[in-house]
């Protein structure tokens, strides 16, 4: 009897202990789980690759709430803001990265590209010069024995690039150098990239367009054709190749290049407009008529251009302008910037 009573008391004590433990569990709440950073990162990268910039930005901002000092995330936020055209936000993000990591070459390059988009060429040069200079110093220190130099030894020497070099910075610096009219220096930069990656389509395109600007149409055609062969959907390269053929006076090839990226009517109109600027009025008139035939109901731009070229054909004084190549080139550049007679944009950089 005593043994049974003891067992009962023991069970009661155990039951009471369990109740106390349960009561304790009820009064102490577990902290809510934090965000799954790895999963958010994966979702952000996936959305970014698919061009879903707003969705990617949402995921990156969630990560940033949990990790405010994550510079890699801030850099990606800057990239997305730039893609969305929110340049002030992009500039702030890249400056935040550079304050924490002053040697972040990718942030320097991205900041320079934003300044190029906003027309602040001086600031763009500042960051591109710094990014490429830092990269060259790194390469020389890391490869003191080899010192592979690319380009004309009597001009600026460049150390061969490697997989960690900011390729975008070299390409962007080349574009600004082209716009300054120093085509040889720009071409050295593009070749520097091609030494590191011979199939880099943007470098091939930029090199071809640089030769186009310099008037070397044969080399321009060679590199632009390589760019289109490597990447058949590269719109800019097809447009630039079409410009080369226009300058060569080969309207048929120019049309075949342009129609890869625009309707037939637009292609005929734009080729005709270039021909008109170069004083080839009869050819331009034929092309404008083809543009109208291809789209007779709505293509008012070609109708306007046709009237212009017919007026020019009847003016001997204006026609003589076509004989002056420098005048034609100046008019061509102004027309490309103002887009007055084109169906599609043909911006001056071509890159």
Interior angle at CA 282, CA 301 and CA 343, nearest 5: 20
Q: Which residues of 306-323 are buried (b: 16+ CB within 10 A; e: fewer)?
A: bebbeebeeeeeeeeebe
Give SS3 for 99: helix
pLDDT for the residue numbered 349: 57
pLDDT for the residue numbered 238: 96
Mean predicted confidence (pLDDT) in 94-119: 95
Q: What is the pLDDT of residues 139-155, one digit of tens each?
A: 988 876 554 454 443 44
What is the domain partition of the chain in residue ranges?
A: 37-102, 262-351
Let me know: does 125 contact 109? Beta carbons within 8 Å.
no
Q: Which residues of 168-195 are buried (b: 16+ CB within 10 A; e: fewer)?
A: bbbbbbbbbbbeeeebebbbbbbebbbb
Name the strand (E) or helix (H) holding 81: helix 71-83
| CATH code, 37-102 | 1.25.40.10
pLDDT for the residue numbered 260: 94
Q: What is the pLDDT of residues 44-54, one digit of tens each?
A: 999 999 999 99
Q: How far is CA 19 from the centre of its chain?
A: 66
Give SS3 for 149: strand
CA of 15: how far to CAs of 5, 24, 27, 214, in Å? 15, 14, 19, 93
* pLDDT of 3 strictly over 60: no
pLDDT for the residue numbered 301: 74
For the chain, first and last CA: distance in Å? 99
Q: What is the pLDDT of residues 254-288, one digit of tens each?
A: 999 999 999 999 999 989 988 888 888 889 889 98
* Mean pLDDT estimate for the chain: 82
**pLDDT class for 297, splitting at 50, 70, 90?**
low
Token pair listed for 18: 């369990």
* pLDDT of 241 strictly over 60: yes
């Amino acid at each position: 009897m005593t043994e049974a009573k003891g067992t009962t008391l023991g069970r009661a004590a155990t039951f009471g202990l369990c109740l106390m433990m349960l009561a304790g569990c009820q009064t102490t709440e577990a902290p809510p789980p934090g965000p799954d950073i790895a999963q958010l990162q994966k979702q952000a990268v996936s959305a970014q690759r698919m061009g879903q910039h707003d969705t990617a930005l949402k995921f990156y901002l969630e990560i940033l709430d949990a990790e405010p000092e994550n510079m890699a995330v801030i850099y990606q936020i800057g990239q997305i803001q730039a893609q969305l055209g929110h340049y002030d936000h992009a500039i702030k993000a890249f400056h935040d990265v550079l304050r924490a990591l002053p040697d972040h070459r990718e942030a320097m390059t991205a900041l320079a590209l934003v300044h190029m988009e906003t027309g602040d060429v001086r600031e763009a040069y500042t960051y591109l010069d710094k990014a490429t200079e830092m990269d060259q110093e790194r390469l020389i220190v890391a490869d003191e024995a080899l010192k592979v130099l690319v380009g004309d030894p009597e001009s600026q020497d460049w150390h061969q690039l490697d997989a960690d070099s900011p390729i975008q910075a070299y390409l962007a610096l080349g574009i600004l150098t082209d716009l300054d009219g120093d085509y040889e220096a720009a071409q050295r930069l593009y070749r520097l990239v091609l030494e590191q990656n011979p199939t880099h389509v943007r470098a091939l395109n930029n090199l071809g367009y640089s030769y186009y600007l310099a008037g070397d149409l044969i080399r321009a055609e060679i590199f632009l054709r390589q760019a289109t062969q490597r990447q058949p959907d590269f719109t800019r390269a097809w447009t630039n190749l079409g410009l080369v053929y226009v300058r060569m006076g080969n309207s048929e090839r120019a049309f075949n290049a342009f129609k890869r990226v625009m309707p037939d009517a637009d292609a005929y109109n734009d080729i005709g407009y270039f021909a008109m600027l170069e004083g080839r009025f009869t050819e331009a008139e034929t092309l404008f008529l083809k543009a109208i035939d291809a789209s007779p109901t709505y293509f008012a731009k070609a109708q306007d251009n046709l009237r212009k070229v017919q007026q020019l054909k009847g003016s001997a004084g204006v026609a003589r302008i076509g004989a002056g190549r420098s005048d034609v080139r100046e008019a061509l550049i102004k027309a490309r910037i103002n887009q007055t007679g084109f169906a599609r944009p043909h911006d001056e950089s071509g890159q």
